[in-house]
Amino acid sequence: MNSKHAISVATILLITVMPRVSAEEIGGGQLVWLLLSEGIKQQFRPLAAASGQETRAAPAVVSAQKAPNACEVLQWDREAFGKPSMSIFRPGKYCLDQDYEFNCSIFDHGCGGKMIEIRASNVDLDFRGHTLRLSGTRGYSGVWGFGQNIRVHNGRIEGAGAGIMLMNRNNSPQVAYPAMLINEKDVFTETNFVVENMQFSNVVTAVMMAGIGNQIRDNQIDATLSAKTTSGPPFALLSYGPSARIERNTLRLHDLTPGSNGYAIYLRSADGTVVEGNTVHVDDTPNGTIGVGLSNSKGVSLRRNRIDTEKSTELDGRSNMQQ
């Protein structure tokens, strides 16, 4: 031990054994010495003993978390894209923070596409009350999605050829149009799409879906059935695949081309689908209108629907309804 350490230890021992004295018994130099000694002893006391409290560990730092209802806002980059283009390529919650409007003349080149394109599963798209408004063409869709577990809700789509189209691999609702041949070998996947609390105005088709276990509920649909295409009669809503639930929707049909047919709801390969609590109105003459059309669909259940079309149902030879 060197001399500095020896002096320090001796000093500490001397301080700790010194008797306590009153202020009257000490002079100025002794008072300074005692104050210094008390300071040194405090340095050697545990903090808990000095304060009379238990020693506690510092709180752990917690990383900031997003609020449960947080979402990523979709934006149309108008400088990069002259036409509406908003895309989703990964799972998550997304939303709109404004309305979007686009006018595209049928004489413009390439006047078709999708305003919002989804290429991912496990996606929640909340319009937050906003509107996608299209005019001048029927070539644009409001929302086009490819994946599973996609939910679209709480908004408005106006003027689109197809409001919302959702599908998964190997199954497209476009192969289920009334004029298309039935493919009895189709294999469907669990898609569990949901479209709810949406308003569709002046659309040809509001919703088209393909897959198993999809839900279309609590929507307001205003459909113009004047379109004549090679796909056959127009329809406001198409569900392709088994075990869907179509519930509590209000559909208003108008402008059906005279002499043609048009469907409010068209089902293809829809075994076990439930159609319940829907209301279908026709603004003008009901001639040619059909409430629910069934194609290659067995065990379909229709419950408590109010349908004002000329024919409430139409079944092909491969279809039947559950009693």
- Give the residue extent of every domain in the chain: 3-51, 72-315
pLDDT tens digits, one per residue of 134-180: 887 788 899 999 999 999 999 999 999 899 999 998 789 989 999 89
Q: What is the pLDDT of residue 13?
A: 37
Q: What is the pLDDT of residue 80?
A: 72
| DSSP calls for 10-45 | HHHHHHHHPPP--GGG--HHHHHHHHHHHHHHHHTS
What radius of gyration do the chain's Cα atoms show?
A: 36
Q: Which residues pair with 101 in a beta bridge?
A: 133
Q: What is the pLDDT of residue 111?
A: 74
Listed as ranges, residues in the chain with pLDDT below 70 are 1-69, 105-110, 227-231, 323
Residue spans of beta strands (DSSP E) within 121-261? 123-126, 131-135, 140-146, 150-158, 162-167, 194-203, 205-210, 215-217, 220-224, 235-240, 245-247, 250-254
Q: What is the pLDDT of residue 139?
A: 80
Within 8 A by CB and 6+ apart from 68, the residues are: none
Residue 4, H or E segment = helix 3-17
C-beta atoms surrounding 40 within 10 Å: 13
Q: What is the pLDDT of residue 227?
A: 64
Q: What is the pLDDT of residue 278?
A: 98
Q: What is the pLDDT of residue 47?
A: 42
| DSSP calls for 72-95 | EEP---TTT-SS--EEE-SSEEEE
**Residue 315 and residue 54: Cα distance in Å, rounded?**
79
Three-state SS at 121: coil
CA 199-229-317 angle, 5° bins: 90
